[in-house]
Amino acid sequence: MPKIAVTRWIPDEAVQVLGEAGEVEISPEDRPLTPEELRKFVAGSAAVVSMLHDRIDGSVADAAGPGLKVVANVAVGYDNVEVSALADRGVVVTNTPGVLTDATADLAFGLLLAVSRRLGEGERLLRARQPWSFHLGFLLGSGLQGKTLGIVGLGQIGRAVAKRAAAFGMRVVYSGRSAKPDFDGEFVSFDELLRRSDFVSLHCPLTPETRHLVDADALRAMKPSAYLVNTTRGPVVDESALADALAAGEIAGAALDVFEKEPDVEPRLLERDDVVVTPHLGSATVETRTAMAVLAARNVVSVLAGADPLTEVGR
């Protein structure tokens, strides 16, 4: 049976699906594999099930050998996969869109609420057993009703966040490659979105064009009362510039689920009460992570059976 290399633990439901198509080998290491370990682990594989921390390039495909048919990335984004190099070698690349939309949108909106209502500050105060009493000026935050949410990248997750914002009485503007005639929101340039928004939520993919899209200039263009939320990919934000902007009072706060150099975080951000951080939890529900892994597994089964993949990158 063909070897199916899984670079890290996945739910049993997905392992069972993969077992229909080949011999499943899961890395015993509960951590990202080093490049050398990854190349050694995938040797002789017909399929690789990869995680977003795995750099899958031509050298990995060559290490797997000429029998490699498919790389199934358990993520929506695939910036960790050198798609063109794999295509040159006849390897199909798939991802897991759709199944994590609601979970990630929920988390994005949760972060928005946490930073604007200062929930992290309040919890830390209580856990530290600091004295407090109710008064009208205590830990005042920012309300959402009537505020403008700027969504950068109106894909499935961006739309889901917009739906949640509408329920909170927010106005929505968005920027991206083109206007969406089927969406009830105002399409504006990125620069105008920064100037007008009370909250900026990032949902664009990581590409060479979007790397450090939110840099020092972008942060200076935002309102001093505005908040930045990032649940897409860390390098879309220049974390050093963000720390500088917060220190200078150029924006009111930030909420981040992803980081430029994961798992490391810019130390100055961790020192600030106006920053909320979570460790890449956007899709972290039992239901969603299981669905992601199962979809990746079904892609593998389809390709190894000679059928079309369910969610091929680029199609």
CB 310 within 8 A of CB 299: yes
List the catalytic residue out of 8, 203, 233, 298.
233
User: What b/e string do you get for 172-197 counting C-beta neighbours within 10 Å, with b at 16 or more?
Assistant: bbbbbeeeeeeeebbbbebeebbebb
Q: Is 285 left (phi over 0), alpha (psi -120 to 50) or beta?
A: beta
Compute and round to an integer the Cα radius of gyration of the chain: 21
Catalytic residue list contains 262: yes
- The first and second tokens of residue 296, run together, are 């990746």
List the catalytic residue out of 262, 268, 272, 312.
262
CA pair distance 8, 254, nearest whole angstrom:
31
DSSP 32: P
Residue 198, judged by CB atoms within 10 A of its CB (0-12, 13-18, 19+), counts as: buried
Backbone angles phi, psi at 121, to 5 degrees: -60, -45
Catalytic residue list contains 315: no
Nearest CA to 282 out of 261, 258, 306 is that of: 258
CA distances from 250 to 116, 117, 216, 241, 260 (A): 15, 19, 10, 11, 20
Q: Taken in order 6, 283, 81, 34, is the CA torsion positive or negative?
A: negative
Nearest CA to 196 out of 156, 235, 149 is that of: 149
CB 63 within 8 A of CB 43: yes
Catalytic residue list contains 196: no
- The first and second tokens of residue 122, run together, are 């309040």
The catalytic site residues sit at 233, 262, 280
